[in-house]
Amino acid sequence: MSNDRADAVTPAERESQLSVLRRGWRSSPDLREGARLTLALALAGGAGRVVVPVLVQQILDRGVVSGAVRMHVVVGLAAAATVIITLTALASRATRTRLAIAGERYLAALRTDAFRHIHRLSLATQTEERRGELVARVTSDVETLSQFLSWGGMSWLVNGAVMLAVVCVMAAYDARLALVAVTVVLPMAGVLRLVQKYMSRAYDEVRARNGELLTAVSETVMGAAVVRAYAAHQALRTRSSAAIAGQRRAFIRAGTIGALLFPSGEVFSVLTISAVVVGGVWLGPASGLSAGELVAFVFLVGLFLEPVAEFTEIMDQTQMAVAGWRRVLDVLDTPVELPDPAPDVAVTLPHDAPEIVVEHVSFAYTGAETTRVLHDVDVTIRAGRRVALVGATGSGKTTLAKLLTRLADPTEGRILVGGVDLRDVDPRSLRSTLVMVPQEGFLFDTTIAQNVRFGRPGAGDAEVLAAFDDLGLGPWVDGLAAGIDTPVGERGEHLSVGERQLVALARAHLAGPSCLILDEATSAVDPATEVRLSRAIESLTSGRTTIAIAHRLSTAERADEVLVMDHGRLVERGPHDALVSAGGVYSRLHARWLSATAAIGS
């Protein structure tokens, strides 16, 4: 993922990094609350760290004078230092706790807001890949921020304060020596930045090689049957070894660069100390410098350089955190394509099976004319009718179903349910009136009962069982190991495709809609389940206005009416028999159906 790369940030983007920070800061009252006090505490905690060098200086200059030790001075200084050290510790503890509490509160709220917003976005534009990215927004991106808060953010604050305090103390002791120290240290920033660039690149390489390594290993696992059936061991061994060796080399390279970066602080530190000692000795006591101050410099240089190496790592982390923050904020700023109606216009639909009117509806996914997938569809479905929607893949039947359930809004035209424009229907009323049973029968990783209860939260076990009984599925449920308490596994994978659809049907039934949109499953199911499915659908659709996307001849045959879609247009409509004899698109589809099923002439 190139957008995760820190060094891929262009100057233009860097410019906007500041604006991301501003945007995030403004949108987060949790973060802003008490931030001043936190900052003050951080400064105090950082500044307190110079107490040891200062104490060394004081004791050498005031406690030990020409070989004579004034113990009362030493003890007094030590007591003061101990108090300051304790206060410093308390201040940095408070800083860290406050930062974590404010930060984590903000992040939990940010996560939840982003999650809520994601569910508000139209599904029309959500591909599987896009969904994966959205999951990353509320998990890994927020996590990057959290890690930054607990380490990087703290480090910026405290180390910044330490470095500032050190420079101040140095300057107070002797401005000339302070200048010497800073001058010798300065080039280090450049060196670190350079090495760090190499290091980021080296770690990119490690990540890439890691990917190849995992691919190679996954081949030996996923291709296990092929390997054994074709004795392909040697080919795979060679490839895996190459991938393993490639990863090893990249890992060693990156580690070596890191190893060179790390002690550069040490080298700069001894150079600076040497320069300060030479400078201090050259200046001598006549300049007003004392021995204690010169010794204190040695400690101060160490204190000053300690965070520098850390900064180079934090730079990376900071850029990643800002990039993550931007991505999460962008999700929140994505406009909702399907705005809810204003409360004063929102209409609640009646419970009777509604009439559905599709009025000159066109639809394009991106709004561009070339991506138009529905052209001027105009049809009225009378209340309580069962309609089958047929057509080849890409004819627009799934898109029409999405518009009917308002998973997207028409680009042109409108859809009326019970005389009301879908856009004006109260969302709660919409979801309880119109329920879609999607093709894949997605289930949540819990029990069958919990999944069915999704249709009507708060429904008791008896109601869940009744839903199955109504659809003639009681015997099937009884046959399961734990009945309705049987866990279905991730995405429902402990159940077969057909069984997942059964649960989805019960779920839709419990929701008690007056209008159903069914997307028939295309996958093959075993004959017994097939029979159960068609019976359950029969019961489910009775008394409800139903639009079924039909993939089977039998579904189309049973419908009151068949709507035939072709290249985004509604080309034919009527009862099955009439359409077959009409000699149009449907009769051709029908002939093809027949020839496919009659291949063995039975």
Partner 1 sequence: MTPPPVSGRLLRRGLVVVRSEVRLHPRPFAVAVFGALVYALATIASSAVIGRVVDRVITPRFEAGHVASGAVVAGVLAIIGVGLVKASGIVCRRIMANITQARVQATIREEIVERYLHLPMSYFQTHPTGELIAHAGADVEAATMVLAPLPWSTGVLVLLVVAAGWLLATDVFLAAIGLVLLPSLLLLNIVFQRKMEEPATRAQDRLGVVSGVAYESIDGALVVKALGAEDSEARRFAHAARDLRDAKIDFARLSATFDALLNSLPSIGIVAILVIGAWRVERGAVTPGTLVAFASLLNLLAWPLRLVGWVLGDLPRTIAGFDRVKAVLDQAVLDQAVPEERADGSAGVGSAGEEPHGHAIEVSGVSFSYEDGTAVLTDVSFFVERGTVAALVGPTGCGKSTLLQVVAGLLDGVDGDVRTELPVALAFQEPFVFADTVEGNVALGHDLPAGVYDEAVSVAQAAEFIDRLPDGLGSVIGERGATLSGGQRQRLALARALARRPRVLLLDDATSSVDPATEADILSGLASAHSGMTVLMVATRPSTIALADRVLYMESGRVVAAGTHAELLASSAGYADVVRAYEEAREGMALDLEAS
Catalogue the long-range contacts made by 120-123 (C-beta closer than 8 Å, 24 or more residues apart). Answer: 120/336, 120/338, 121/334, 121/336, 121/337, 122/336, 122/337, 122/338, 122/407, 122/408, 122/409, 123/402, 123/407, 123/408
Closest contact distance (angstroms) between CB of 116 and partner 1 is 4
Single residue of 190, 234, 343, 370 touching partner 1 by CB under 8 A: 234
How many other CB atoms sit within 10 Å of the CB of residue 458? 6
Q: Per rule CB under 8 A, is residue 104 in the interface with partner 1? A: yes
Region near partner 1 per CB under 8 A, out of 115-123, 165-173, 374-382, 574-582: 115-123
By the rule CB under 8 A, 584 interacts with partner 1: no
- Nearest distance, CB of residue 168 and partner 1, angstroms: 19
Among residues 26, 125, 168, 442, the one that binds partner 1 under rule CB under 8 A: 442
Integer Cα distance of 332 and 320 in angstroms: 19
- In the complex, the smallest distance separating the C-beta of residue 373 from partner 1, rounded to whole angstroms, is 13
* Site membership for partner 1, residue 432 (CB under 8 A): yes
Examine residue 569 and tell whether it contacts partner 1 (CB under 8 A): no
User: Which of these, 459, 450, 468, 457, lies nearest to 506 by C-alpha position?
Assistant: 468
Residues 147-176 as x/- pattern, contact with partner 1 by CB under 8 A: ---x--------------------------
Q: Which of 353, 292, 387, 331 is nearest to 126 (CA)?
A: 331
Position 554 contacts partner 1 (CB under 8 A): yes
Looking at residues 391 to 420 of the shown chain, list those that interact with partner 1 (rule: CB under 8 A). 391-395, 405, 407
Tell me how far, at minimum, the Cβ of 10 lies from partner 1, in Å.
Answer: 27
Cα atoms found within 13 Å of the Cα of residue 85, Cβ hemisphere only: 11
Region near partner 1 per CB under 8 A, out of 7-15, 98-106, 460-468, 538-546: 98-106
Instruction: Decide if residue 25 touches partner 1 (CB under 8 A).
Output: no
**Binding to partner 1 in span 472-491, by CB under 8 A:** 490-491
DSSP one-letter code for 381: E
Q: Which of residues 34-73 bind partner 1 (CB under 8 A)?
A: 49, 51-52, 55-56, 59-60, 63-64, 66-69, 71
Residue with tokens 């409108």: 414
- Among 16, 17, 27, 240, which residue sits at the site for partner 1 (rule: CB under 8 A)? 240
Helix axis angle, 175-222 to 264-283, nearest 10°: 170
Q: How far apart are CA 559 and CA 66, in angstroms?
A: 109
Q: Strand 356-364 vs strand 372-381: parallel, antiparallel, or unpaired?
A: antiparallel
| 469 touches partner 1 by CB under 8 A | no
Radius of gyration of the chain (CA): 35
Q: Convert residues 196-225 into a mask of x (bound to partner 1 by CB under 8 A) and - (unbound).
A: --------------x--xxxxxxxxxxxxx
Q: Which is nearer to partner 1, 19 or 263 (CB)?
A: 263
* 3-class secondary structure, 585: helix
Q: Is the dihedral of CA 548, 387, 453, 499 positive or negative?
A: negative
Classify 428 as helix, strand or coil. helix
Q: For the CB of residue 132, give the shortest distance to partner 1 in the complex, in Å.
A: 9
* Interface stretch with partner 1, choices 181-189, 294-302, 353-361, 477-485 (CB under 8 A): 294-302
Least distance to partner 1, CB of residue 600, Å = 4
Choose among 135, 146, 114, 139: nearest CA to 27: 114
Instruction: Report if residue 347 touches partner 1, rule: CB under 8 A.
Output: no
Q: At what angle do helices 71-120 and 291-333 cross, to 10 degrees?
A: 10
Closest distance to partner 1 from the beta carbon of 255 (Å): 3
CB of 304 to partner 1, least distance (A): 13
Q: Which stretch binds partner 1 (CB under 8 A): 326-334, 342-350, 427-435, 539-547?
A: 427-435
